Protein backbone atom coordinates (compact mmCIF):
# COMPACT_ATOMS: atom_id res chain seq x y z
CA UNK A 1 0.00 0.00 0.00
CA UNK A 2 1.62 3.27 -1.08
CA UNK A 3 0.68 6.55 0.58
CA UNK A 4 -1.27 7.77 -2.42
CA UNK A 5 -3.14 4.61 -3.31
CA UNK A 6 -6.55 4.16 -1.67
CA UNK A 7 -7.20 0.93 0.22
CA UNK A 8 -10.06 -0.99 -1.36
CA UNK A 9 -11.53 -4.00 0.42
CA UNK A 10 -13.61 -6.65 -1.29
CA UNK A 11 -16.11 -8.26 1.09
CA UNK A 12 -17.65 -11.72 0.61
CA UNK A 13 -20.62 -12.93 2.68
CA UNK A 14 -21.72 -16.58 2.34
CA UNK A 15 -22.62 -17.74 5.84
CA UNK A 16 -26.19 -18.77 5.15
CA UNK A 17 -28.64 -18.24 2.29
CA UNK A 18 -27.44 -15.08 0.61
CA UNK A 19 -24.32 -14.45 -1.43
CA UNK A 20 -23.34 -10.85 -0.74
CA UNK A 21 -20.44 -8.91 -2.24
CA UNK A 22 -19.33 -5.41 -1.23
CA UNK A 23 -16.49 -3.07 -2.13
CA UNK A 24 -15.31 -0.54 0.46
CA UNK A 25 -12.99 2.33 -0.45
CA UNK A 26 -10.81 4.04 2.18
CA UNK A 27 -11.83 7.53 1.03
CA UNK A 28 -15.17 7.08 -0.70
CA UNK A 29 -16.74 4.49 1.60
CA UNK A 30 -18.98 1.86 0.02
CA UNK A 31 -18.51 1.96 -3.77
CA UNK A 32 -20.41 -1.16 -4.79
CA UNK A 33 -22.48 -3.99 -3.41
CA UNK A 34 -24.73 -6.74 -4.73
CA UNK A 35 -26.70 -9.57 -3.25
CA UNK A 36 -28.13 -12.81 -4.49
CA UNK A 37 -30.80 -14.17 -2.17
CA UNK A 38 -31.48 -17.91 -2.23
CA UNK A 39 -34.94 -17.46 -0.72
CA UNK A 40 -36.69 -19.06 -3.69
CA UNK A 41 -34.36 -22.08 -3.65
CA UNK A 42 -35.13 -22.87 0.00
CA UNK A 43 -38.76 -21.72 0.13
CA UNK A 44 -40.19 -25.06 -1.02
CA UNK A 45 -38.40 -26.80 1.89
CA UNK A 46 -39.64 -24.28 4.48
CA UNK A 47 -36.10 -23.43 5.60
CA UNK A 48 -32.46 -23.33 4.54
CA UNK A 49 -31.04 -26.60 3.10
CA UNK A 50 -27.29 -26.31 3.81
CA UNK A 51 -26.07 -28.38 0.84
CA UNK A 52 -28.19 -26.38 -1.62
CA UNK A 53 -26.90 -23.17 -0.03
CA UNK A 54 -23.24 -24.18 -0.56
CA UNK A 55 -23.83 -25.22 -4.15
CA UNK A 56 -25.50 -21.94 -4.98
CA UNK A 57 -22.77 -19.84 -3.33
CA UNK A 58 -20.26 -21.63 -5.61
CA UNK A 59 -22.23 -20.56 -8.67
CA UNK A 60 -22.87 -16.98 -7.59
CA UNK A 61 -19.68 -15.79 -5.93
CA UNK A 62 -17.48 -15.04 -8.95
CA UNK A 63 -20.16 -13.54 -11.24
CA UNK A 64 -21.29 -11.31 -8.37
CA UNK A 65 -17.72 -10.17 -7.68
CA UNK A 66 -17.37 -9.28 -11.38
CA UNK A 67 -20.67 -7.40 -11.31
CA UNK A 68 -19.66 -5.36 -8.24
CA UNK A 69 -16.26 -4.49 -9.74
CA UNK A 70 -18.02 -3.35 -12.89
CA UNK A 71 -20.53 -1.30 -10.91
CA UNK A 72 -17.67 0.45 -9.09
CA UNK A 73 -15.62 0.80 -12.30
CA UNK A 74 -12.76 -1.13 -10.74
CA UNK A 75 -10.70 -4.14 -11.75
CA UNK A 76 -9.31 -6.97 -9.63
CA UNK A 77 -5.96 -5.16 -9.57
CA UNK A 78 -7.50 -2.23 -7.68
CA UNK A 79 -8.35 -4.43 -4.69
CA UNK A 80 -6.04 -4.07 -1.69
CA UNK A 81 -7.49 -6.78 0.56
CA UNK A 82 -10.27 -9.35 0.75
CA UNK A 83 -12.59 -9.93 3.71
CA UNK A 84 -14.82 -12.98 3.93
CA UNK A 85 -17.26 -14.24 6.54
CA UNK A 86 -15.37 -16.94 8.45
CA UNK A 87 -18.21 -17.64 10.91
CA UNK A 88 -20.53 -18.21 12.59
CA UNK A 89 -22.66 -19.94 9.99
CA UNK A 90 -23.12 -23.07 7.88
CA UNK A 91 -19.76 -24.81 7.41
CA UNK A 92 -20.18 -25.65 3.73
CA UNK A 93 -21.45 -22.19 2.88
CA UNK A 94 -18.60 -20.54 4.80
CA UNK A 95 -16.05 -22.74 3.03
CA UNK A 96 -17.13 -21.38 -0.34
CA UNK A 97 -16.52 -17.76 0.68
CA UNK A 98 -13.26 -18.68 2.37
CA UNK A 99 -11.97 -20.64 -0.64
CA UNK A 100 -12.88 -17.87 -3.08
CA UNK A 101 -11.35 -15.17 -0.86
CA UNK A 102 -8.12 -17.02 -0.09
CA UNK A 103 -7.45 -18.15 -3.64
CA UNK A 104 -8.24 -14.77 -5.13
CA UNK A 105 -6.06 -13.06 -2.52
CA UNK A 106 -3.24 -15.52 -3.19
CA UNK A 107 -3.39 -14.91 -6.93
CA UNK A 108 -3.46 -11.13 -6.47
CA UNK A 109 -0.77 -11.24 -3.73
CA UNK A 110 -2.96 -9.28 -1.32
CA UNK A 111 -4.09 -10.10 2.24
CA UNK A 112 -7.31 -11.95 3.11
CA UNK A 113 -9.07 -11.83 6.46
CA UNK A 114 -11.87 -13.90 8.01
CA UNK A 115 -14.56 -11.65 9.47
CA UNK A 116 -17.03 -12.46 12.25
CA UNK A 117 -20.52 -12.32 10.73
CA UNK A 118 -22.06 -10.70 13.81
CA UNK A 119 -19.33 -8.04 13.87
CA UNK A 120 -20.39 -7.31 10.30
CA UNK A 121 -23.98 -6.79 11.46
CA UNK A 122 -22.85 -4.77 14.46
CA UNK A 123 -20.79 -2.35 12.36
CA UNK A 124 -23.34 -2.04 9.52
CA UNK A 125 -24.70 1.29 10.86
CA UNK A 126 -21.23 2.73 10.13
CA UNK A 127 -22.13 2.45 6.43
CA UNK A 128 -24.63 5.29 6.92
CA UNK A 129 -24.03 9.04 6.91
CA UNK A 130 -25.36 9.41 10.44
CA UNK A 131 -23.03 7.20 12.46
CA UNK A 132 -22.99 6.11 16.10
CA UNK A 133 -19.99 7.05 18.23
CA UNK A 134 -18.21 4.53 20.47
CA UNK A 135 -18.89 3.38 23.12
CA UNK A 136 -22.44 2.11 22.68
CA UNK A 137 -24.81 -0.70 23.50
CA UNK A 138 -25.69 -2.96 20.57
CA UNK A 139 -28.76 -5.12 20.16
CA UNK A 140 -28.05 -7.81 17.57
CA UNK A 141 -31.17 -9.57 16.39
CA UNK A 142 -30.87 -12.12 13.60
CA UNK A 143 -32.07 -15.57 12.65
CA UNK A 144 -29.35 -17.21 14.73
CA UNK A 145 -28.56 -14.70 17.47
CA UNK A 146 -30.16 -12.37 19.98
CA UNK A 147 -27.51 -10.45 21.89
CA UNK A 148 -27.01 -7.31 23.90
CA UNK A 149 -23.40 -6.18 23.74
CA UNK A 150 -21.40 -3.46 25.38
CA UNK A 151 -19.27 -2.12 22.54
CA UNK A 152 -16.28 -0.19 23.85
CA UNK A 153 -14.45 -0.06 20.52
CA UNK A 154 -14.20 -2.13 17.36
CA UNK A 155 -13.38 -5.63 18.54
CA UNK A 156 -13.80 -4.82 22.24
CA UNK A 157 -17.09 -6.51 22.99
CA UNK A 158 -18.70 -7.67 26.20
CA UNK A 159 -21.83 -9.78 25.84
CA UNK A 160 -24.35 -8.45 28.37
CA UNK A 161 -27.10 -10.91 27.56
CA UNK A 162 -28.24 -13.40 24.95
CA UNK A 163 -31.03 -15.79 24.14
CA UNK A 164 -31.16 -18.92 26.23
CA UNK A 165 -33.16 -20.73 23.54
CA UNK A 166 -34.53 -19.53 20.17
CA UNK A 167 -33.10 -16.39 18.60
CA UNK A 168 -35.77 -13.76 18.05
CA UNK A 169 -35.58 -14.10 14.25
CA UNK A 170 -35.98 -17.86 14.66
CA UNK A 171 -39.05 -17.25 16.84
CA UNK A 172 -40.49 -15.00 14.12
CA UNK A 173 -39.79 -17.70 11.51
CA UNK A 174 -41.25 -20.55 13.59
CA UNK A 175 -44.33 -18.56 14.57
CA UNK A 176 -44.83 -17.59 10.93
CA UNK A 177 -44.79 -21.29 10.04
CA UNK A 178 -47.42 -21.98 12.71
CA UNK A 179 -49.51 -19.21 11.12
CA UNK A 180 -49.18 -20.90 7.74
CA UNK A 181 -46.87 -18.23 6.30
CA UNK A 182 -43.93 -19.01 4.03
CA UNK A 183 -40.19 -18.83 4.57
CA UNK A 184 -38.58 -16.51 5.59
CA UNK A 185 -41.27 -15.85 8.10
CA UNK A 186 -40.17 -12.60 9.77
CA UNK A 187 -41.22 -10.16 7.04
CA UNK A 188 -44.38 -12.18 6.27
CA UNK A 189 -45.43 -12.19 9.92
CA UNK A 190 -44.79 -8.45 10.21
CA UNK A 191 -46.96 -7.87 7.15
CA UNK A 192 -49.82 -9.97 8.53
CA UNK A 193 -49.54 -8.26 11.92
CA UNK A 194 -50.38 -4.93 10.29
CA UNK A 195 -53.95 -6.16 9.83
CA UNK A 196 -54.15 -7.44 13.42
CA UNK A 197 -56.04 -5.95 16.35
CA UNK A 198 -53.66 -5.30 19.24
CA UNK A 199 -56.49 -5.56 21.78
CA UNK A 200 -57.44 -9.12 20.75
CA UNK A 201 -54.70 -11.07 22.57
CA UNK A 202 -51.93 -10.34 25.04
CA UNK A 203 -48.93 -12.65 24.91
CA UNK A 204 -46.50 -12.87 27.84
CA UNK A 205 -43.29 -10.78 27.78
CA UNK A 206 -40.75 -13.53 28.45
CA UNK A 207 -38.22 -13.04 31.28
CA UNK A 208 -38.88 -9.33 31.84
CA UNK A 209 -39.68 -9.95 35.50
CA UNK A 210 -36.28 -11.62 35.98
CA UNK A 211 -33.15 -9.55 36.54
CA UNK A 212 -30.41 -9.67 33.92
CA UNK A 213 -30.28 -9.22 30.19
CA UNK A 214 -30.80 -12.71 28.83
CA UNK A 215 -33.71 -13.54 26.56
CA UNK A 216 -35.99 -16.51 25.96
CA UNK A 217 -38.29 -16.65 22.95
CA UNK A 218 -39.29 -20.28 22.58
CA UNK A 219 -42.25 -19.87 24.96
CA UNK A 220 -43.78 -17.20 22.71
CA UNK A 221 -43.88 -19.60 19.80
CA UNK A 222 -45.64 -22.22 21.96
CA UNK A 223 -48.10 -19.58 23.13
CA UNK A 224 -48.78 -18.73 19.50
CA UNK A 225 -49.31 -22.40 18.62
CA UNK A 226 -51.87 -22.86 21.43
CA UNK A 227 -53.67 -19.66 20.51
CA UNK A 228 -53.88 -20.63 16.81
CA UNK A 229 -55.34 -24.01 17.82
CA UNK A 230 -58.09 -22.23 19.78
CA UNK A 231 -58.71 -19.28 17.46
CA UNK A 232 -57.74 -20.41 13.95
CA UNK A 233 -59.69 -17.53 12.36
CA UNK A 234 -57.67 -14.84 14.12
CA UNK A 235 -54.24 -15.27 12.57
CA UNK A 236 -53.59 -11.56 12.02
CA UNK A 237 -54.44 -10.79 15.66
CA UNK A 238 -52.10 -13.57 16.78
CA UNK A 239 -49.30 -12.26 14.54
CA UNK A 240 -49.83 -8.82 16.08
CA UNK A 241 -49.78 -10.18 19.63
CA UNK A 242 -46.57 -12.10 18.92
CA UNK A 243 -44.88 -9.08 17.34
CA UNK A 244 -45.89 -6.77 20.19
CA UNK A 245 -44.66 -9.23 22.84
CA UNK A 246 -41.35 -9.90 21.05
CA UNK A 247 -40.57 -6.26 20.30
CA UNK A 248 -41.56 -4.91 23.70
CA UNK A 249 -39.43 -7.59 25.37
CA UNK A 250 -36.47 -6.45 23.27
CA UNK A 251 -37.20 -2.82 24.13
CA UNK A 252 -37.40 -3.49 27.88
CA UNK A 253 -34.04 -5.30 27.83
CA UNK A 254 -32.42 -2.54 25.75
CA UNK A 255 -33.62 0.06 28.24
CA UNK A 256 -32.20 -2.01 31.06
CA UNK A 257 -28.87 -2.41 29.24
CA UNK A 258 -28.58 1.34 28.59
CA UNK A 259 -29.39 2.12 32.22
CA UNK A 260 -27.02 -0.53 33.53
CA UNK A 261 -24.07 0.60 31.38
CA UNK A 262 -24.84 4.33 31.55
CA UNK A 263 -24.50 4.55 27.76
CA UNK A 264 -26.56 6.99 25.72
CA UNK A 265 -26.29 5.29 22.32
CA UNK A 266 -28.01 2.15 21.09
CA UNK A 267 -27.15 0.39 17.84
CA UNK A 268 -29.64 -2.13 16.52
CA UNK A 269 -28.68 -4.50 13.71
CA UNK A 270 -29.32 -7.92 12.19
CA UNK A 271 -32.32 -9.12 10.17
CA UNK A 272 -34.98 -8.35 12.77
CA UNK A 273 -33.81 -4.71 12.98
CA UNK A 274 -35.68 -4.29 9.68
CA UNK A 275 -38.91 -4.72 11.68
CA UNK A 276 -40.75 -1.39 11.79
CA UNK A 277 -42.72 -2.16 14.96
CA UNK A 278 -39.40 -2.81 16.73
CA UNK A 279 -37.94 0.44 15.40
CA UNK A 280 -40.96 2.41 16.59
CA UNK A 281 -40.76 0.89 20.03
CA UNK A 282 -37.00 1.52 20.34
CA UNK A 283 -37.23 5.07 18.95
CA UNK A 284 -39.92 5.91 21.53
CA UNK A 285 -37.75 4.45 24.30
CA UNK A 286 -34.75 6.45 23.06
CA UNK A 287 -36.74 9.67 23.14
CA UNK A 288 -37.84 9.01 26.70
CA UNK A 289 -34.34 8.13 27.89
CA UNK A 290 -32.56 10.82 25.89
CA UNK A 291 -30.63 8.10 24.03
CA UNK A 292 -29.85 8.01 20.32
CA UNK A 293 -30.81 4.89 18.39
CA UNK A 294 -29.03 3.86 15.17
CA UNK A 295 -29.96 1.26 12.55
CA UNK A 296 -28.51 0.21 9.22
CA UNK A 297 -30.63 1.06 6.16
CA UNK A 298 -33.27 -1.65 5.54
CA UNK A 299 -31.25 -3.61 2.96
CA UNK A 300 -28.22 -3.80 5.27
CA UNK A 301 -30.23 -5.16 8.23
CA UNK A 302 -30.31 -8.63 6.70
CA UNK A 303 -27.21 -10.42 5.43
CA UNK A 304 -25.15 -8.53 2.86
CA UNK A 305 -21.62 -8.15 1.52
CA UNK A 306 -21.30 -4.44 2.30
CA UNK A 307 -21.11 -5.03 6.06
CA UNK A 308 -18.40 -7.69 5.59
CA UNK A 309 -16.41 -5.36 3.31
CA UNK A 310 -16.63 -2.63 5.97
CA UNK A 311 -15.82 -4.84 8.97
CA UNK A 312 -12.91 -6.39 7.07
CA UNK A 313 -11.73 -3.00 5.89
CA UNK A 314 -11.50 -1.64 9.43
CA UNK A 315 -9.16 -4.52 10.32
CA UNK A 316 -7.27 -5.13 7.06
CA UNK A 317 -6.41 -1.45 6.58
CA UNK A 318 -4.77 -1.61 10.02
CA UNK A 319 -2.68 -4.57 8.97
CA UNK A 320 -4.62 -7.44 10.53
CA UNK A 321 -4.34 -10.73 8.64
CA UNK A 322 -5.67 -14.28 8.74
CA UNK A 323 -3.24 -17.15 9.08
CA UNK A 324 -1.47 -17.43 5.76
CA UNK A 325 -2.78 -19.63 2.98
CA UNK A 326 -5.21 -21.75 4.96
CA UNK A 327 -8.84 -21.90 3.99
CA UNK A 328 -10.09 -21.26 7.49
CA UNK A 329 -13.61 -21.00 8.82
CA UNK A 330 -15.11 -20.88 12.32
CA UNK A 331 -18.71 -22.11 12.21
CA UNK A 332 -18.91 -21.47 16.00
CA UNK A 333 -17.20 -18.31 17.13
CA UNK A 334 -17.92 -15.96 20.05
CA UNK A 335 -17.75 -12.21 19.51
CA UNK A 336 -15.83 -11.91 22.76
CA UNK A 337 -12.87 -13.81 21.23
CA UNK A 338 -12.18 -11.04 18.70
CA UNK A 339 -9.12 -8.84 18.87
CA UNK A 340 -9.62 -5.13 19.46
CA UNK A 341 -8.54 -2.86 16.62
O1 LIG B 1 -29.33 -11.23 9.81
P2 LIG B 1 -30.12 -12.14 8.99
O3 LIG B 1 -30.38 -11.79 7.55
O4 LIG B 1 -29.50 -13.56 8.95
C5 LIG B 1 -28.88 -14.14 10.05
O6 LIG B 1 -27.68 -13.81 10.30
O7 LIG B 1 -29.56 -14.92 10.73
O8 LIG B 1 -31.52 -12.33 9.75
C9 LIG B 1 -32.54 -13.10 9.24
C10 LIG B 1 -33.69 -13.09 10.22
C11 LIG B 1 -34.78 -14.09 9.85
O12 LIG B 1 -35.15 -14.81 11.00
C13 LIG B 1 -35.92 -13.19 9.36
O14 LIG B 1 -37.19 -13.76 9.54
C15 LIG B 1 -35.72 -11.95 10.23
O16 LIG B 1 -34.32 -11.79 10.26
N17 LIG B 1 -36.36 -10.76 9.65
C18 LIG B 1 -37.41 -10.13 10.22
C19 LIG B 1 -37.76 -9.05 9.36
N20 LIG B 1 -36.90 -9.09 8.29
C21 LIG B 1 -36.06 -10.14 8.50
N22 LIG B 1 -38.06 -10.35 11.38
C23 LIG B 1 -39.07 -9.54 11.68
N24 LIG B 1 -39.48 -8.51 10.92
C25 LIG B 1 -38.85 -8.23 9.76
N26 LIG B 1 -39.26 -7.20 9.01
ZN1 LIG C 1 -26.82 -12.35 9.57
Q: Is the same domain home to 115 and 209? A: no
The pLDDT score that the predictor gives to residue 319 is 87
Q: Is the same domain home to 289 and 305? A: no
Q: Each residue of 68-85: pLDDT tens digit?
A: 999 999 999 999 999 999
Q: Cβ(275)–Cβ(249) under 8 Å?
A: no
Q: Is the same domain home to 183 and 272? A: yes
Domain interval for residue 141:
133-295
> Which atom of ligand 1 is nearest to 117's Cα?
6
If one counts the domains in the chain, the total is: 2
Q: Is the same domain home to 250 and 333? A: no
Give the list of residues 6+ apart from residue 237 with CB closer than 8 angstroms, or none: 196, 197, 200, 201, 231
CB atoms near residue 135 (< 10 Å)? 15
Give the list of residues 6+ apart from residue 199 with CB closer than 8 angstroms, or none: none
Q: Is the same domain home to 192 and 324? A: no
Atom 7 (ligand 1): residue with closest C-alpha?
143
Q: Each residue of 312-331: pLDDT tens digit?
A: 999 998 888 776 667 789 99
With H, G, I as helix, E, B as strand and everything else as coil, classify residue 272.
helix
Q: Each residue of 261-306: pLDDT tens digit?
A: 999 999 999 999 999 999 999 999 999 999 999 999 999 999 999 9
Ligand nearest to the CA of 142: 1
Centre of ligand 1 to C-alpha 324, Å, is 34
Q: Is the same domain home to 333 and 258? A: no
Q: Is the CB of 185 under 6 A from ligand 1?
A: yes
Ligand nearest to the CA of 119: 2
Q: Each residue of 123-140: pLDDT tens digit?
A: 999 999 999 999 999 999
Give the list of residues 6+ apart from residue 224 with CB closer than 8 angstroms, or none: 175, 178, 179, 203, 238, 241, 242
Q: Cβ(308)–Cβ(98) under 8 Å?
A: no
Q: Is the same domain home to 244 and 305? A: no
Q: Each residue of 214-270: pLDDT tens digit?
A: 999 999 999 999 999 999 999 999 999 999 999 999 999 999 999 999 999 999 999
Asked, for residue 78, whether it belongs to a domain, the answer is yes
Amino acid sequence: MSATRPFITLGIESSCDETGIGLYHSEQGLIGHQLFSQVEIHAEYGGVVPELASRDHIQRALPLIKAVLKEAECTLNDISGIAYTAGPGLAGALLVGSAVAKSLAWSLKIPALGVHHMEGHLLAPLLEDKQPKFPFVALLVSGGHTMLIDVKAIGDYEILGESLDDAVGEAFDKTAKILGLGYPGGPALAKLAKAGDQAAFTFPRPMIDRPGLDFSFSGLKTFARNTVAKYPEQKADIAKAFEVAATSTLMIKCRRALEQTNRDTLVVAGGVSANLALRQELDAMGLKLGAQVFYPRQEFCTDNGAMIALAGHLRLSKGQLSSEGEISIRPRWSLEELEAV
